[in-house]
Amino acid sequence: MSGATVELRGVTKRYGGTLAVDELSFTVPAGRICVLVGPSGCGKTTSLRMVNRLIEPTSGEILIDGQNVLREDPVVLRRRIGYVIQQVGLFPHQTVGANIATVPQLLGWSRERIRARVDELLALIGLDRGMKERYPAQLSGGERQRVGVARAMAAEPPLMLMDEPFGAVDPIVRERLQNEFLQLQRAQGITVIFVTHDIDEAIKLADRIAVMNQGRLEQYDTPAAILARPASDLVIDLLGPDRGLKRLTVTPIDLSELEHPPIVRVDESLAGARSRVDSQWRRVVVLDRNDRLVGELDREGAQGEASVRDRLRPIDATVGADQNLYDAFSQMLIHHADWVAVLDGDRFCGILTPASFVAAIQRVPAEMEGARR
């Protein structure tokens, strides 16, 4: 399965004398997630529904992989685009399996192919195969939402449209669904256009964010670029007063920018540890011979003649090299630490200090240096 490139060119929608969407133009790269966000009534859902022609544009062009969908049969078009809404919209009189199989049946797939696809999707969304005989009323809200996503993916669409899909579930379930959806999207490579009113959800999920205002495109860029350089007061207000902290969530840990305190080996003598503690570094990092983190040792602990192993303290504040600065900052706060150790698997890479976070968010995001779409 591979995603489709989606391009909107000057798309406009009028209802009588009311302009709902005004000359909307942007491109969603194949296999990426574009999130539409903005104030209520700004045209997000209208724009989304014009892509699968549930709403017909007044003017403009909508291209999927270079083909103008306004020249297609809208029914045929919709069968190759997945669609998920907030209230899921499962057919209550059909089983989970039958709901998931809806579009493949319309496309004339064989029973064997449909059965295999339903089982595959149940596994992908983390539901037991036996669940396919249940009815929607027998599922929790989170389970119904998963089934809605599976139904949208059933015919292997290159594009999915999602309108507030996680808005009706509680915050804990919502976060879990977001995480599961991200894993699923990355594994499948589907292009997604996603509507939300929640800027935090947009920042978490999006490769590109389209900020809309009164039917117009206020700003279109990566989350990092929008957080670093909001284009207007409306965007600033939408991002909220904590946008500096939000930048941490989209800033990956850069291994080349880590700080490197002195290192001693766990089987060394305290005399060797003392020789590495100086005015800059009041503590040393303790590793084993395979560069695995064992703990830390401060100046006081390095006194005497005992071994390093006997005097070291564990380092609780650790973060994976594939995580972001927000995760690292959280660990620092949780453990009341003044540094966070960064690990690649179990290999020690370096540390982050408060100065590291300040320096990282002051750098211009790398995404902004390239050409903007």
Where residue 164 falls (left for φ over 0; alpha for ψ -120 to 50; beta otherwise) is left
Q: Which residues contact 334 (CB under 8 A, 6 or more apart)?
A: 317
Using CA atoms of 203, 205, 208, 211 in order, give the dihedral in degrees to the nearest 10.
-50
Among 281, 274, 335, 324, CA closest to 304: 274
Task: Tell me how far CA of residue 306 lies from CA of 16, 154, 283, 297, 310, in angstroms.
Answer: 85, 64, 17, 12, 7
**DSSP assignment letter at 301:** T
Give residue 279's Cα distance to chain centre. 42
Distance CA 365, CA 373 (A): 15
Please provide residue 87's backbone torsions phi and psi, each rounded to the nearest 5 degrees. -90, 15
Tokens standing for residue 54: 């549930």
Q: What is the pLDDT of residue 369?
A: 43
Tokens standing for residue 64: 């999927």
Distance CA 150, CA 362 (A): 41
Q: What is the pLDDT of residue 236?
A: 95
Q: What is the pLDDT of residue 127?
A: 84
Distance CA 313, CA 192 (A): 47
Sign of CA dihedral 246, 232, 220, 52: positive
Regions of the chain short of the pLDDT cut 50: 367-373
Domain assignments of the chain as residue spans, ordered by start: 6-249, 255-361
**Helices assigned H by DSSP within 36-133:** 44-51, 74-79, 96-100, 102-106, 111-124
Q: Which residues contact 120 (CB under 8 A, 6 or more apart)?
A: none
Q: Are strands 67-68 and 59-64 parallel, antiparallel or unpaired?
A: antiparallel
What architecture is domain 6-249? 3-Layer(aba) Sandwich (3.40)
Q: What is the pLDDT of residue 187?
A: 85
Please provide residue 276's backbone torsions phi and psi, each rounded to the nearest 5 degrees. -100, -10
Distance CA 337, CA 290 (A): 25
Per CATH, 6-249 and 255-361 having the same topology is answered no
Distance CA 57, CA 313 (A): 65
Q: What is the pLDDT of residue 57?
A: 97
Superfamily of domain 255-361: CBS-domain (3.10.580.10)
